[in-house]
A and B are shown apart, each in its own frame.
Chain A
Amino acid sequence: MLSSPAQMHVPDGFLTTTVSIVLWVLAVLAIVVALRRVGNDLGERQVPLMGVLAACIFAGQMLNFPVAGGTSGHLIGAALAAILLGPWAGILVLACVTGIQALIFQDGGLLAMGSNIVNMGVVSVFTAWGVYRIVQMAARGARWGMIVGGFAAAWISVVVASMAAALQLAASGASPANVAIPTMAGVHMLIGIGEGLITVGALSFLAATRRDLVSHDKTAAVAGRGVWIAGLVLAIGLAVASPLASTHPDGLERVAADIGFLDRAQSSPYKIFSDYMIPGIHNQALSTIVAGVVGVLLVFVVAYGVARMRRGANTAS
């Protein structure tokens, strides 16, 4: 109940430092642009509206519905935010949700936060926005545009974001591409159905009660053409790249190896060393282990000492 739908939140430890940092840079760029665009759009209302809507998406993720066998579906909310707020505000809101989830609830890592912001904020939101716009244009304002567009935007954005996560895992060498991508995408094709239905339910409710919130003239004008084209290119790129990567796992293995090599570049002596790490075989290994054990003991002794002293102080006072 505490946890939100965390299937896609990458924890720390899975991505290499290089991948993490590259994604952090992308996330920061996206947030900076989003802050500026949303600021132009909302002016003084930016802080209160974005803050409360981020809280709303977070709380909305607790709205569940029973599926079968004790499992339940949840809202993730990227598509809903993109459709209702436009891409930049959507990114800002989702980035805040992702940040709070990691900082307070450890849903997703701190170093991996860049990755999670890119996947659940940037990739989901752009994809959802692009898909929704296309369907809207095809529907020319007919009601089915909202329903089909909402469902498609939600489903596709969930699947594409999961592929992005899988690609990053594969590029980090944390999971073979030919396993990670089909598995992640497959699971999220199911999850995406729930997301699509919830999104449509939310849009229908709003269309019936507050039409002005679902009408797009404002956000469309603000976002401009570039954004949804970028969203589509991103979606199509990932959709093409992922199956390619998963049928040619060696390609990504190479990327992973290269990146891994980068990460280890400063520590190349260690690389030789790690192959000897089977306990009891080589003296060097033994010595590391002994050093490690001594270090561990030392730290524990210090920590326990402090803890004891504190307890003593507490009872004394």
Chain B
Amino acid sequence: MHVHFLDPYQDLRSPVHALDARVKLVLALVFILVVSLTPNGAWASLLLLFAVAVSAVLLAGLNVGYVLRRAGLALPFALAALPLVFTAPGARIELGATGISLSQIGIERLLSIFFKSYVSMQMAIVLASATSFPDLLQAMRAIRLPKLLVAIFGLMWRYLFVLVDEAMRLLRARDSRSGALDAARNVGGSISWRARSAGGMAGNLFMRSFERGDRIYDAMAARGYDGEVRSMRHPALSAQSLRVLVAGLVLLSVLFALPRLFA
């Protein structure tokens, strides 16, 4: 009944899993930054970045098909960019006798957006699948995110599963009470009524969470919590992690420079 499926982390043994979370976080962020900085239409660079992403997937021992499919989840958003094909300025490509003409720049931009989005998503998936969230929290602390914020993140993640369980219980209770809610036959009240009853569940969840927050505070205070966030020091980066970090940054710098040097 627990919602383990929510947690995308895959507990495997791979060089990427073994890598220090700080290094992974920094490299993934820089990678996505480099993707973003790659000019539209720099296909060679984009392909190289794609290759790097796929290599990361392979190195992490993840199922390539799964990652490639999952990375496509954001692509429907690209509908927003579709009109560029018609509206962008610049040289145009006539579509035969249809009278429709497409903008060359628009096509290039659309495809670039598609590609960048897809490649960035892959790397984000690798990061989430190969780094446990507790490790990620430590990495966030290490890269100097505000301690309070990281503590809130930690608590949030801990109770995500508990509260999603609670939300699921509320939904199940509703569904078993009202039978199959069938919108077409208007069973289970009007849409407005249904929406408000879902709201009632949200209110219920909020109330319980609020009370739980107080109980958690009591439990923290009972063990000496005084409002200041304290944690153990991070171990220093190992020489090996440092080498990977440097190598990764060098590779990414090259990929950043590539489209700028070629001219």
A residues less than 8 Å from B58 (CB atoms): 303-304, 306-307
- Chain B, residue nearest A3 (CB): B73
Given known pairs A198-B202, A204-B199, A299-B55, the reply for A51 and B73 (CB within 8 Å) is no
Are A12 and B163 in contact, with the CB atoms below 8 A? Answer: no
Closest CB in chain A relative to B142 CB, distance in Å: 15
8 Å CB contact of B48 from A44, A62, A295: A295
User: Does A267 count as interface, using CB distance less than 8 angstroms?
Assistant: yes
Per the bound structure, the CA–CA distance linking A269 and B213 in Å amounts to 57
8 Å CB contact of B209 from A47, A52, A263, A287: A52
Partner-contacting stretch, out of B94-102, B189-197, B237-245: B189-197
Given known pairs A13-B118, A174-B80, the reply for A66 and B181 (CB within 8 Å) is yes
User: Does B171 count as interface, using CB distance less than 8 angstroms?
Assistant: yes
Q: Give the number of residues in A that approach B within 8 Å (Cβ atoms).
A: 111
User: Does B250 count as interface, using CB distance less than 8 angstroms?
Assistant: no
Closest CB in chain A relative to B231 CB, distance in Å: 12
B residues less than 8 Å from A75 (CB atoms): 198-199, 202
- Chain A, residue nearest B124 (CB): A106
Partner-contacting stretch, out of A118-126, A135-143, A205-213: A205-213
- The interface residues of chain B, by DSSP majority, are classed as helix
Given known pairs A11-B117, A273-B262, the reply for A201 and B83 (CB within 8 Å) is no
B residues less than 8 Å from A31 (CB atoms): 146, 149
B residues less than 8 Å from A183 (CB atoms): 80
A residues less than 8 Å from B80 (CB atoms): 14, 169, 174-175, 180, 183-184
User: Does B14 count as interface, using CB distance less than 8 angstroms?
Assistant: yes
- The interface residues of chain A, by DSSP majority, are classed as helix
Within 8 A of A (CB), among B39-57: 39-45, 47-48, 50-52, 54-55
- The total of Cβ contacts below 8 Å across the A-B interface reads 367
Given known pairs A54-B156, A100-B153, the reply for A198 and B196 (CB within 8 Å) is yes
Within 8 A of A (CB), among B168-186: 168, 170-171, 181-184
Per the bound structure, the CA–CA distance linking A274 and B205 in Å amounts to 53
User: Does A84 count as interface, using CB distance less than 8 angstroms?
Assistant: yes
Are B155 and A47 in contact, with the CB atoms below 8 A? Answer: yes
User: Does A224 count as interface, using CB distance less than 8 angstroms?
Assistant: no
Are B206 and A299 in contact, with the CB atoms below 8 A? Answer: no
User: Does B246 count as interface, using CB distance less than 8 angstroms?
Assistant: no
A: which residues have CB within 8 A of B? 2-3, 10-17, 20, 31-32, 35, 39, 43-56, 58-60, 62-69, 73, 75, 77, 80, 84, 92, 96-97, 99-100, 102-106, 109-111, 169, 173-176, 179-180, 183-184, 194, 197-206, 209-210, 213, 249, 253, 263-264, 266-267, 269-274, 277, 284, 287-289, 291-293, 295-296, 299-300, 302-304, 306-307, 310
B: which residues have CB within 8 A of A? 5-8, 14-15, 28-29, 32-33, 35-37, 39-45, 47-48, 50-52, 54-55, 58-59, 61, 70, 73-74, 77-78, 80-81, 83-84, 87-89, 108-109, 113-121, 124-125, 127-128, 133, 136, 146, 148-149, 151-160, 162-164, 166-168, 170-171, 181-184, 188, 191-192, 194-207, 209-210, 212-214, 216-217, 220-221, 225-227, 229, 259-260, 262-263
3 tightest CB-CB pairs across the interface, nearest first?
Answer: A201-B199, A51-B155, A292-B44
